[in-house]
Amino acid sequence: MAVPARARRTTRSSRRFELRATAIYFALLAVILALLGAAARTAVAAAAHRPAWAVALVLLGVSAVMVGSREKRRISAARIARRSAQALEEATQTAVEALDAASPAPAVALVPAGTGAEPTVLLPEAMPEAPAVTVEIAYETLDPDEFEQAVAELCRRDGCLDVDVVGGAGDLGADVVARTPDGRLVVIQCKRYCDGNRVGSQDLQRFGGTCFTVHGADVAVVVTTSDFTAPALDYAEQCGIVCVDGPQLQRWQDSAGPRPWQAQS
């Protein structure tokens, strides 16, 4: 009696196939994980500097995951390239739209109804600027030269022309000279004193002997961070010299008081 021959098993070949497929699967998985890690690091860096590019990277990563899940058995490089290009194009369009949305829209100035006037469109560069912020200066902390420069800046701020700092050796009492908006010559002597050191009558007398006759001042001013003695104020009143003490100087800086040349307008 003939014994039927047994069919040979193909265990070895199928095992080889499974091992090769498993190796390819894990290799591709490692590549995908590496790409995802690099994309994540790139996305974090881009999000800190350019959010639009971060959106593009996220969309590109999502498209790659979708392609990989649908094409488990067969990976088509051409199809991935086409889908990646399409995703990149969509991400670029999204980034452009995001940048357009972030740019400030032009402001429209409304006009009363019935006037027939067209609304005025103000471009961003034509919009009114924010009001300037006044910086407070602690004049008592400045040295004499810096104090003269600060007083000259106050004159320029308030519309004086030909403002010049002339203080120094041989200045004959004039530290700052300027021309008021109405054309008068202002000669200013600056006394940067501490609180306990007041400007005395001798200081006023020396300045009074030169401010009008030598410098030809229309308005003579003595500005100090401290105060004046009573005899100094009496002499200044007799000679027509304007005295500006520390509190008055602060009001001048804050535009809360008159300018020194306005006292003789």
Q: What is the CATH number of the domain that holds 208?
A: 3.40.1350.10
Sheet containing strand 219-224, edge to edge, reads 161-165, 176-179, 185-191, 219-224, 241-244
Q: Which domain holds residue 62?
A: 16-102
Both tokens assigned to 24: 């390819």
The model's pLDDT over 48-102, given as tens digits with 9 standing for 90+, comes to 666 666 666 667 766 766 656 665 545 455 565 566 566 656 656 665 566 556 5
Domain count, the chain: 2
The reported pTM is 0.50
Q: 145 and 256, same structural domain?
A: yes
Both tokens assigned to 172: 């004959």
Is the Cβ–Cβ distance between 220 and 241 less than 8 Å?
Answer: yes
The model's pLDDT over 124-144, given as tens digits with 9 standing for 90+, comes to 454 455 554 455 678 888 998
Domain-ending residue, one of 46, 80, 102: 102
